[in-house]
Structure 1
Amino acid sequence: MIAGHWSVVVAGGRIAGATTAWALAPYAENVLVVDASQATSFWPQQSTWDREGNLLWADLGLLDVVLACGAPRTYGHTLRVDDDLVQHDYPQQDEYSYRMTVPREVLDPALLRAAGSRSNVTVLRPARVTDIASEGGRVRGATVRHDGADHAVSCDLLVLADGRLSRNADRLGAEPYQVVPSPWVALLAYFADLPLRSDRGYFSSQPGSLAISTPCGPGQWCVSTDMHQRLIDESGGHPARQFTRIIAEDPYIGPAVAAGRQISKLGGAGKLRMQRRPMSGPGWCLVGDAGYHLDPVTARGTKSALVAARIVRDRVAEIGGIDGALLDGLTEQRDAALEQDWVVAAELCQPAQVGS
């Protein structure tokens, strides 16, 4: 039964939404996760994190779920700048001191299954929140569309994790208070059987582009590029052609890709914008890209989603239950926790400082 009252309704069941549903379940009577994607959806995206991310996964109780996705741990990377190579080994501070990269089409369903394994969590898919009900200035519920029918639900807390283009955030009037356009286009594809090390990554920084190869599964690598828009404009060709050229010309990735095989289509995004929205209001909160979108060139989006999920969980745990009226101050807390990540990404998006 969809209609009725829920302690928490979560719009979006990817990293941010599934993680937040999992984290809030111990403090809620029941949780409804509404996810718009199909079970067979392919997401040409990857999720990457380092020690900070591992600590967050562990704190949220999801590290074992993540490790079960099968991505190897990397303990260093090679950086090529022009023709110079530098080897970087990650300091082994503790058992969390490694980096991981997991395809989103593997990670996201794993997290959603974990959330759905909670006895009080219901996952509805495919379905979406199409409207929001408010009373007295506070969110009281939503309209959920499933199987062609609309269902009215009430809730104590509405969590929006429905992406950077969230229409529901617009419905709330949660307008971005900071926006930074990005000049970067990110493309990636997955390859198998590459003659590369499975415990190290590789980065090649060239004028206007960054090429990356990182292990992301058993015998599997993610090969990606970040290209400045100026490079694409000067070439006059499709970004996919630039991807092929950059990878083929790289002395490390090129021969490996030629010897292996591509196992996914090429995907990615461009003409994005970083943005910060208010994180919470009476009866609602935003997690993931819906509230805080970092340019993917910095590979810090997963961390920002986990930080937001933990902030909401900690506040709910502090007050002992779900009460949207006590979510004041989360925006400032989130922004302070992620300020350095924002600064790094924003600097990379400044035309005078990139693509030279």
Structure 2
Amino acid sequence: MIAGHWSVVVVGGRIAGATAAWALAPYAEKVLVVDASQATSFWPQQSTWDRDGAILWDDLGLLDTVLACGAPRTYGHTFRFEDEVSEQDYPQQDGYSYRMTVPREVLDPALLRAAQSRDNVTVLRPGRVRDIVTRGGRVSGVTVRHQGVEHAVSCDLLVLADGRLSRNADRVGAVPYQVIPSPWVAMLAYFADLPLPTDRGYIHLERDNVAISTPCGPRQWCVSTDMHQAMLDASGRHPAQEFARIIAEDPHIGPAVALGRRITPVGGAGKLRMHRRPMSGPGWCLVGDAGYHLDPVVARGTKVALVGAQLLRDRIAAAGDVAGAVLDGLTEQRDAALEGDWELAEQACLPAPVRS
């Protein structure tokens, strides 16, 4: 039965939401995950992390889950800046010293299945939150629409993990306190059977675009570009056309994709905005892009989701259960933990010289 009381309601069942549901389940009587997407959705997005991310996955108890997604570990990459090429190897400090990239349509369902494996986690998909209920200035529940029926749900904690465009974050009054427009447009597609290394990535940096290839599954690679908006404005071409041109002209990726095959559409996003919102308030908490969105050009979105889930879990674990947890100060903790990542993304969003 959906209507009634739940210890935690998580809105969004992708990386941030599924991870939060998994992490909070040991401290909750019942957890309800409400996810609006269809099971067959294709997301032109990838999840990328390095040693720090692997350590976070392990701390959250999900490392085996993400490794089972089948993406190979990479231990370095070829770096090209214009005509100069160098080989970068990642320092081997311990067993976490690798980089990994997993398509989101592979990783996100795996995480949601892990959350559902907890006996006290229920997933509604597709489902939507139609309204948020407050009592005495505190969030006390939501109205959930599932299969054409609306259900009144009360909760001790509402976790919003429904992405950078979260309307629910606006509803609870989580107004962004910092917003930075991004000049980058990100595009990607997945390819199979490329004659490329399975344990190394590739990065080609130009003044107005970046081309990247990285292994992401059995005989699969993600090929992506980040393009400066000024370059697109000057060319007048659609981002997908520029993606095809950049990839075809790349001396490393171009010959490889000519011999392999593309297995997904080309997709992506542009005109994005970085933002920071308060992480918590009376009866609610934001994890992932809903509360803290970095430009994808720096590949730190997964870390943001994991840090938020970890901080929330640790605060609730310290209290012993969800109902007794005090969430004050989470915003400051999150911002301190991610300050270096924010600064890196902020630098990437500064005006850059673009070839004429």
TM score, norm. by length of structure 1: 0.99
SS in 2 for 1:343: helix
Match of 2:26 in 1: 26
Change (3 A) 1:324 1:138: farther
User: What amino acid sits opposite 1:317 in the alignment?
Assistant: A
Contact kept, 8 Å, 1:203 with 1:210, in 2: the verdict is yes
User: What amino acid sits opposite 2:254 in the alignment?
Assistant: G
Shift of 1:323: 2.7
User: What amino acid sits opposite 1:18 in the alignment?
Assistant: A
Q: Percent identity?
A: 77
Match of 2:269 in 1: 269
Deviations 1:302-332 (A, max 9, x none): 0010000000000000011003761000000
SS in 1 for 2:70: coil
Contact kept, 8 Å, 1:50 with 1:99, in 2: the verdict is yes
Distance 1:134 1:183 in 2: 38
Match of 1:204 in 2: 204
Match of 2:281 in 1: 281
Contact kept, 8 Å, 2:33 with 2:121, in 1: the verdict is yes
Match of 2:119 in 1: 119
Deviations 1:193-244 (A, max 9, x none): 0000000000000120000000000000000000000110110111111101
Q: 1:1-356 alignment to 2 at 5 Å?
A: 1-323=1-323, 326-351=326-351, 353=352, 355=354
User: What amino acid sits opposite 2:73 in the alignment?
Assistant: R
Contact kept, 8 Å, 1:209 with 1:355, in 2: the verdict is no
- Give RMSD over aligned pairs: 0.9
SS in 2 for 1:271: coil
Shift of 1:355: 4.3
Could you list the runs of 4 or more consecutive aligned residues of structure 1 that deviate by over 3 angstroms after TM superposition? 353-356
Distance 1:231 1:323 in 2: 51
SS in 1 for 2:139: strand
- When the two structures are aligned, how many residues end up with a matched partner? 355
Distance 2:194 2:95 in 1: 28
Shift of 1:68: 0.3
Distance 1:58 1:151 in 2: 36
User: What amino acid sits opposite 1:139 in the alignment?
Assistant: V
Structure 1, unmatched stretches of 5+, are none
Distance 1:328 1:168 in 2: 20
Contact kept, 8 Å, 2:315 with 2:325, in 1: the verdict is no
User: What amino acid sits opposite 2:35 in the alignment?
Assistant: D
